[in-house]
Structures are given as structure tokens and as C-alpha cells.
Amino acid sequence: MGSYRIAVIRGDGIGPEVVDATIDVLQELQDVVRGLKLTFDFVDAGDLCLKVRGTPLPEDTISAIKKAHAAIKGPVGETAADVIVKLRQMLDLYANIRPFKSYPGVPSIKGNVDFVIVRENTEGLYKRYEFTLDGGATAVALRVITRRGCERIARKAFEYASKRPKKLVTAVHKSNVLSVTCGLFAAVCREVSKEYPDVKYEEMYVDACAYNMVVRPERFDVIVTTNLFGDILSDEAAAVAGSLGIAPAANVGDKHAIFEPVHGSAPDIAGKGVANPCATMLSAKMMLEWLGEARAAKLLENAIAKTLRDKRFLTPDLGGNASTKEFTRAVKKALRNSA
Ligand code: NAI
Ligand code: MG
């Protein structure tokens, strides 16, 4: 059981609401799990930070994240590309792990969703190599796919799948049209699949994947895909599992990791106190797993799952009318009762 320094970006919009709720349950968790000690180092990033400090991602924020054992990040707003896309590249957080699960008590299109999107997080179209030609009349974006990038994300996906009961990796691409870039991604995934004979392997075009995700989501286990496709499929997956409000994510590299919800700053509901904090709480659960605190992670997930199953404290995105604070109080109570 260890002692950890956690850098915390509260973010914009609903960010501070869902991050504060998460810190609140983590404080409770420390009382329940003897020996677990988390120290929070609050740092700035995002739209408000740009306004107040003249930059969306100050140097002291970057160095605090580097010094910390891990970071929790709330969503930021319009500066997302200059904050999180930049941090992913800067800290080489090449894998974005996004589990989607239907929790009992959460209304969803299909009941039995349990799959993970392993999204390449540092290249593809999100390299942001964009420019114009013809005096602005033509806009071009370069899609960068490297063998190294494909290899390491494919390995992450197979490692992940080999620990899951279903043991199936689906590589999602569009190599019938983007034969060079998606062609390389598919070829490398196929090569890496040979190193994992106990994991089944298949490929699917991204449009068919988008369809199958709604029609038969239960068929998926681990989806590995490129940056932009992974971004788009993630929001769809969240809808199929019930809400963006319950979809967590881990940005991991070999040295650093940042845990954040899949969703954005939700300006339409910001300040109303009704944001669902589950996605950020479940991201914190992924952080505890990454830190090697499996028992604390399990206790936290169980408390969240119990509160969802109970249905009395569901936030509006899940069809309830509870506030962020009411949901958070219920999770804390479930944690106390599990001690
Ligand atoms: P969004 O994810 O913020 O919202 C989409 C819809 O989902 C909205 O109706 C919102 O109310 C709902 N929603 C999202 N999270 C929720 C939660 N926890 N509880 C209840 N409902 C929730 O996407 P949108 O509107 O496209 O983006 C808003 C801002 O967020 C933009 O400025 C965008 O750049 C930024 N953004 C930041 C991200 C990050 O920091 N990683 C990721 C995605 C978007
Ligand atoms: Mg997204």
C-alpha cells in the first residue's frame, strides 16, 4: 500500500464539478483503505487558464504532471487540443484505454456491453499537421501512421485482451480506401497478432464497426484503432453503454499517465450541479489500478456500481433527477459501508 502524489487539473465547464466529486470520494477511500495515501497537487490548464494566465498549458502544470505518480484531468473546453492532445504527444501517452460497460441500473440500448477501445493517442490526423494551399482555397491535413506507433498500440491491445475472458482483438480501420495509412496499421496489427496465438484476431472497417456497435455491441471485446476513429467511436460506445457520463479513460505511456473522462466540458449543463461524476470517478479507479492499488480500485468501482444499481441517485443523463452532490454522497456512503 503506497503513498502517491496526484496532479489534478479541474478543467472547464462541468470539469470542476466532476473532479471535486471525485476527490471527495478518493478522500473517503483513503479512510477505508488503510495505508493508501493520496496527496493532490492542483494545477491549471484549459480555457480559464488561458484567460487568466495567458496560456492554456503553463510550464508548471507540465512539470507537476511529470513529477507526480499520476494525474487526474477534468475536461477542458475549446483549448482541448492545446491541452490534452499536446500532453499526450509531449509525455508520449500513446495508448488511450477506454472501457465501456453496461452497469445494472443504467438504462442502455443493449444490456450486455463490455468492451474496451484501445485508441492510438499520439499520431494519425491528430498530429495536427494542417496547412492551406491556393491562398487558403484548399486545406490539407496530413495523416501520420508509423510502424512503431502501430506496433506499440497493437501490443497494448493484445496484452489487454490476453487478460480478458473473451480474448478477441478487432482492428478497426478503412484500408479499402486509405490503403497506405490504414494499410500499414492493418498489416502491423496482423503481424503483432501472430505473437499472441491465444488471442483471436479479426479486422473490421470503421463504418461497419460503427454499425455493429449499436446492433450487436456484445460481440466486441478489445477494439484497437487509430486516433480519430477511436475518438469518434468512443462517444458512440458511451451512448450504447448508457451515457458519456459513465465513460472513463486512461492516457498511458511507459512513464506517465493521465486519467480523464471521455466527455468534454458540457457547457450546456455546466454550473447546474447535475453533471454525472461517474466517468471521472471511474477514471480514478483506472488510476488506482495503474498504481497497483487493485483492492482500492475494486472497492471504488463496487461503490459506484452499487449506487447505480440502487437507482435512487441517478443523474439526469441516466434518467434520474439527482444532483452531482447527491450521487457523490451515495458513493461515499457505499464506500463507508464496505469497510
Ligand atoms: P461534451 O462531451 O462536453 O458534451 C456532449 C453531450 O454530453 C452534452 O449534451 C453534455 O451535456 C453531455 N455530457 C457530457 N458529459 C456529461 C456528464 N458528465 N454528465 C452528464 N452529461 C454529460 O462534448 P461537446 O459539447 O462536443 O464539447 C464541449 C467542450 O468540451 C468543447 O469545447 C470541446 O472542445 C471540449 N472537449 C474536451 C475534451 C477533453 O478535455 N478531453 C474532450 C471532448 C471535448
Ligand atoms: Mg472525444
The DSSP letter of residue 272 is T
Which has the closest alpha carbon to 319: 105, 114, 113? 105
Does 67 share its domain with 4? yes
Question: What's residue 111's pLDDT?
Answer: 78
Mark whether 91 and 117 lie in a shared domain: no
Residues 216 and 254 in one domain: no
Which of 216, 241, 266 terminates a domain? The answer is 241
Tell me: do 221 and 252 sit in the same domain. no
**What's the pLDDT score for residue 109?**
82
Give dist(CA 11, CA 260) in Å, integer: 10
Same domain, 112 and 234: yes
> How many domains does the structure of the chain reveal?
2
Which ligand is closest in space to the CA of residue 318?
A: 1
Q: Are residues 175 and 252 in the same domain?
A: no
Q: Which residue is it, cell 493484445?
A: 158
- Which atom of ligand 1 is nearest the CA belonging to 14? 18
Q: Name the grid cell of 141.
A: 491535413
CA pair distance 142, 126, nearest whole angstrom: 9
Q: Which residues surround ligand 2, an ion (CB under 5 A)?
A: 231
Query: Which of 214, 241, 268 marks a domain boundary?
Result: 241
- The CATH number for 287's domain is 3.40.718.10
Q: Are residues 221 and 328 in the same domain?
A: no
The verdict on 150 and 199 lying in the same domain is: yes
Q: Do 300 and 235 fall into the same domain? A: no
Please state the φ and ψ torsions of residue 263, each to the nearest 5 degrees.
-75, 170
My answer on whether 144 and 235 are in the same domain is yes
Report the alpha-carbon distance of residue 44 to residue 56 in Å, rounded. Answer: 8
**Residues 218, 285 within the same domain:** no
Residue 1: per-residue pLDDT: 65
pLDDT in tens, 312-325: 999 999 999 999 99
Q: In the numeric block, which cell numbers belong to residue 26?
A: 478518493
Identify the segments of the chain with pLDDT beneath 70: 1
Q: What is the pLDDT of residues 91-146, one digit of tens each?
A: 999 999 999 999 999 998 877 899 999 999 999 999 999 999 999 999 999 999 99
Q: Best mutation site among 265, 314, 321, 325 for ligand 1, i.e. most ligand atoms within 8 A of its Cβ?
A: 265
Distance CA 248, CA 18 (A): 12
Cα–Cα distance, 66 to 255 (Å, whole number): 9
Catalytic residues: 126, 174, 207, 231, 235
AA identity, residue 254: D
Task: Tell me the residue range of the domain where 158 lies.
Answer: 108-241
If residue 9 lies in a helix (H) or strand (E), which one and from where to where? strand 3-9
Query: How far is it, in rounded angstroms, from Cα 229 to Cα 166?
Result: 23
Report the atom number in ligand 1 closest to the C-alpha of 46: 40
Residue 339 pLDDT: 74
What are the pocket residues of ligand 1 if the criterion is a CB atom closer than 6 Å to any ligand atom?
A: 14, 18, 75-78, 80, 84, 244-245, 260, 263-269, 275-276, 279, 317
Residues 172-200, buried b or exposed e (16+ Cβ, 10 A)? bbbbeebeebbbbbbebbeebbeebeebe
> Does 9 lie in the same domain as 43?
yes
Selection from 183, 167, 190, 239 nearest residue 210 by Cα: 239
CA 262 – ligand 2 centroid, Å: 6
Domain boundary among 187, 210, 241: 241
216-228 pLDDT, tens digit each: 999 999 999 999 9
